[in-house]
Structure 1
């Protein structure tokens, strides 16, 4: 299970739907595996606005990553519509700075190259455990929790 995926998951227990403690799920006994994936800055620029930064910092800390900045980086502008005008770019405010390449590469490593192979994710609200085996989390709930 990629670390990026976890940023979009919440507890599936019905009683947890309204609790802010059900997100993010917390890793325990996680066995990590690093894979070598080609660096794709355009994917990172597009996915960063969708990432819950506070949840990512919690997850990264639990997994032992210390390179996550306190503030979400401002990704470099991308073409607005390369089919109509390949040189047109998003206008950004003077105080906005493109994210440092090292920070973006560190995020690439954390979000895309890091995979949890074994372990479990635990809900901060109800304590339900979702086991991870061979990189796949089991989100099937017993009938009394549905």
Structure 2
């Protein structure tokens, strides 16, 4: 599961009022090369919950993203876009679990 997908998921357990972001319990993660597309990244930037992305990337061992959401001028920097690209599209949770932040319920993730 890519971190792009993770950033769009929330727990929909009945009675949960705050199911986002799901925490990651990483047993195995992999990096899969994806073609770099700066225009896609610029369009996705405003749709991403930055803190959730940074926390998820760090739980997978990737600490190259700034803690605070960068301003839109960073979208002109290839160096920033490549780091954003790697975290968003190339890091994959291969095995582990997604954990509801409110209930602690675990949703297994297995490589398919």
User: TM-score scaled by structure 1?
Assistant: 0.70
Question: By how many angstroms is 1:33 displaced?
Answer: 1.3
| 1:32 partner SS | strand
Distance 1:99-1:70 versus aligned 2 partners, 3 A rule: farther
Distance 1:98 1:34 in 2: 23
CA contact 1:24–1:59 (8 Å) conserved in 2? no
User: Could you say if the C-alpha distance between residues 9 and 97 of structure 1 is closer, same or farther in structure 2, counting changes exceeding 3 Å?
Assistant: closer
Q: Which has the larger radius of gyration?
A: 1
Between the aligned partners of 1:74 and 1:115, the Cα distance in structure 2 is 26
Measure how far apart 1:37 and its partner are: 1.0
Q: Is the 8 A contact 2:98 2:109 kept in 1?
A: yes
Deviating more after overlay: 28-37 vs 114-123 = 28-37
1:105 — aligned with what?
A: 82
Q: Write the deviation string for residues 93-146 of structure 1: whole angstroms up to 9, x where unpaired.
A: xxx4644211110111111111111111111110110100115xxxxxxxxxxx
Number of the residue aligned with 2:105: 128
CA change 1:98–1:46 in 2 (3 A) is closer
Preserved contact between residue 2 and residue 113 of structure 1 (Cα < 8 Å): yes
Contact 1:30–1:63 under 8 Å retained in 2:
no
| Unaligned ranges ≥5, structure 1 | 76-95, 136-146
Match of 1:45 in 2: 42
Please identify runs of 4+ aligned residues in structure 1 that moved more than 6 A.
Answer: none
Distance 1:126 1:63 in 2: 22
Q: Can you give the 5+ residue segments of structure 2 that lack an aligned partner in the other structure?
A: none
